[in-house]
Amino acid sequence: MGLVQVATNTVTSAVSSVTLTGISDDSIYMIAVSGATVSDPVQEIRARFTVGGTAQTTANYDWANKFLRASASFINDYDTNQTNTRALNNTGDTGGEGSNGIFYLYNFNNSSKYSFMSMENVTENGNESRGYQGGTVYTVQEAHNGVHFMNNGSGNITSGTFTLYRQVGI
C-alpha cells in the first residue's frame, strides 16, 4: 500500500479555515495534520465534509470518541445531529501546545452510502499529552470531495500543515 498526495495547505499566518479537496474516486483517503494550533488556547479544530468544495453545515454529523488524558481518567465523548464534528482537541497556541492527527475517509465519493471519518490525534496541552480516538458518520447519502477544518470558537487556525492523500495499491 502507498499514498499519493492530493492536496496540502500549510498555515503560516492566521486563517479562519482550511479546506482540502480532491477526492474523486472510491479509494480510501487519509488526511495528516501536523503542528496545528489555534489563537484561543481553550478552543479546538472542528471539521465538516465538503460537496463541490463547500462545507456541509446541516445537523447530520454523529460522532463518538475516547478522550485519553495523562492527568485524569478517560472520557467517552459523543454527540448526534451536530453541524460539525470534532477533529483536533485543545489546540492552543501557547507554550508548546499543538496537535497532530491522522484521519481516514471512507465512502466519500459514493453518493449511495454515508461518509465515515476515523480519527486519532495527540495534543500537547501545557504539561500534558492528550489522545483522542474515534470517528464520525455524516448521515446523508451524498458524495463528498473533501474536508473543511475550522476553529470551534471565535479565533483562527494559526499554524499547521494539512495534507490529503489517496491510498493506492490496496
- Spell out the domain ranges in the chain: 2-168
Residue 56: the pLDDT is 98
Q: In the numeric block, which cell numbers belong to residue 167?
A: 491510498
- Burial (CB count <10 Å: 0-12, 13-18, 19+), residue 16: exposed
- Using CA atoms, how far apart are residues 114 and 70, in angstroms rounded to an integer? 34
User: For the chain, which ranges sit under pLDDT 70?
Assistant: 41-42, 90-96, 126, 170
Say if domain 2-168 classifies as CATH 2.60.120.
yes
Residue 73: the pLDDT is 87
What is the value of pTM for the model shown? 0.93
Q: What angle do CA 32, 131, 5 make, to 5 degrees?
A: 5
Residue 93: the pLDDT is 58
